[in-house]
């Protein structure tokens, strides 16, 4: 069977001049439609299928952000043969894509002050500079570690904030973490 190349999803943004936060995903690869790859128009299927971004948006709302305030993109922009957790070369591919993402964010925010919300622990682990202490998700959400992660401690050179998309990390269950984000990040 011949593989059909899918167009990569576009980043999502209402107004690039009013971005208060970046939201970063791993990659667009998704086989949730009965094992078939899902073709998305925008990252996380925003405006197409709410199930992929609904919980992320709820968390963003709890810290005072709305769809109009964010720029949403994936680190790896191309569809892969396997989903992130099963893709053994994801880090290699992410390293190849990192300069392009850095340039994209730099064009939108030359100050490097706009924070990046990380939707997966894999992003957190990958983006921290070598030698920096890595915390497990529950440690972070239980207020372990410094939030936001300092720009000089990560590969994007921007404030990073773990805000994982999995239901376990819904901020309504982590009220103190949500308050910490609101108090320590100027949005």
Q: According to the 3-state scheme, what is the secondary structure of 163-176?
A: CCCCHHHCHHHCHH
Structure pTM?
0.90
Q: What percent of the chain has pLDDT above 90? A: 64
The pLDDT score that the predictor gives to residue 25 is 93
The pLDDT score that the predictor gives to residue 38 is 64
CA-CA distance, 160 to 1, in Å (whole number)?
A: 42
Name the pLDDT band for 81 (thresholds 50, 70, 90): low
Name the pLDDT band for 89 (thresholds 50, 70, 90): confident
Per-residue pLDDT of 51-72, as tens digits, reads 889 999 999 999 999 999 999 9
For the chain, the domains span 12-184
**Contact criterion met (CB below 8 Å) for 128 and 24:** no
CATH number of 12-184: 3.40.470
Question: Residue 42 contacts by C-beta under 8 Å, 6 or more apart in sequence?
Answer: 9, 10, 11, 12, 48, 72
């Amino acid at each position: 069977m011949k593989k059909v190349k899918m167009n990569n999803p576009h980043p999502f943004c209402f107004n690039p001049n009013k971005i208060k936060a970046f939201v970063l995903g791993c990659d667009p690869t998704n086989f949730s439609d009965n094992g078939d790859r899902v073709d998305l128009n925008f990252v996380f299927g925003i405006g197409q299928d709410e199930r992929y971004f609904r919980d992320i948006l709820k968390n963003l709302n709890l810290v005072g952000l709305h769809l109009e305030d964010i720029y949403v993109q994936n680190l790896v922009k191309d569809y892969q043969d396997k989903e992130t957790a099963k893709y053994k070369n994801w880090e290699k591919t992410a390293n190849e894509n990192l300069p392009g993402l850095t340039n994209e964010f730099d064009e939108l925010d030359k100050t490097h002050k706009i924070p990046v919300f990380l939707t997966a622990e894999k992003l957190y682990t990958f983006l921290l500079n070598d030698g920096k202490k890595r915390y497990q998700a529950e440690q972070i959400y239980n207020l372990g570690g410094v939030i936001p992660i300092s720009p000089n401690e990560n590969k994007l050179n921007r404030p990073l904030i773990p805000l994982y998309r999995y239901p376990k990390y819904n901020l309504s269950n982590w009220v103190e973490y949500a308050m910490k984000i609101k108090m320590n990040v100027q949005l």
